Amino acid sequence: MSEAQQVHSSFYRFAALDDPSAVAERLRELVVGLGGNVIVAAEGISGAVAGPPAVLQAFEQALVTEFGGAFAGMVFKHSACATRPFHLVKVHVKREIVAFGVPGVTAPETQDDTHVSPQRWRELLDEPDVVVLDNRNSFEWRLGRFRGAVDPEVKHFRDFPAYVESQAPQWKAEGKRIAMYCTGGIRCEKTSAWMQDQGLTVYQLDGGILNFFQAMPDAAADWQGECFVFDKRIAIDAKLQETATTAEEVYADEPDGAWRLARAKRLDPAS
């Protein structure tokens, strides 16, 4: 298989699953012919996979039609690949599809009014009472970000709640609204309801950075730098095209960079 034949797909859905292990067992049959990672938990599914277009299409069709309709209507965000993103494929069963660090917090299964379209997001970037908050790790923010975005200075998503709690009193005192984004939307889904419970007015970019790039032909007008992706392509630009940035360059100045690089290679070594 040539690398040029690969299409990357990322997806997630918060949905109550009675038997995550049974869902994972069926998924292991469906992912044959693809590479990537899929996480299943009682709160739903999250995945990033890649492969030939026809194989990928069949997998996605099965996802939305099987499993009792739990994943019906799920959105798949696609991008072409010059580099084969994954050499292995794995389906994991975990406690959460994204680890937040606050027990009992999950995302609502139906979208609420915190979601904003890419077009509305562009407007929020210019509103003076809005804090544009990057809901990713600091090394991702340094590689690329929306104009005016604040770096939360966290090394792991599970550290994000402590950052919000430290800043919330000032944001509320100043009458700030929070416009939050992440790569594909899943981290913001987990965070937004919890932040509203802290008394904050929150907006989240629907579908994350990847959806903004896909929806806005002139996305580079609002995006500075590159977007880190958690696969062998390493980074893409605002046109969803792979860049020449290497993992070694991304992690070079990180205190735990050597660990992150070794872990990435161990989890999906080149074939």
Domains of the chain in sequence order: 3-93 (3.30.70.100), 115-267 (3.40.250.10)
Please answer whether residues 242 and 236 qualify as being in contact, where contact means their C-beta atoms are separated by less than 8 angstroms: yes
Decide which of 2 and 183 is more confident: 183
What is the 3-state secondary structure of 154-188? Answer: CCCHHHHHHHHHHHHHHHHHCCCEEEEECCCCHHH
> Predicted confidence band at 150 (pLDDT cuts at 50, 70, 90)?
very high
Return the structure tokens found at 183.
């790569």
Q: Is 87 helix (H, G, I), strand (E, B) or coil?
A: coil
Q: How far apart are CA 38 and CA 151, in angstroms?
A: 28
Residues taking part in catalysis: 182
Residue 118 has pLDDT above 80, yes or no: yes
pLDDT per residue as tens digits for the range 219-253:
999 999 999 999 999 999 999 999 999 999 998 87
Provide the phi-psi class of 240: left if phi over 0, else alpha when psi is between -120 and 50, else beta: left
Nearest to 41 by CA among 69, 12, 72: 12
pLDDT per residue as tens digits for the range 9-62:
999 999 999 999 999 999 999 999 999 999 999 999 999 999 999 999 999 999
* Predicted structure pTM score: 0.89
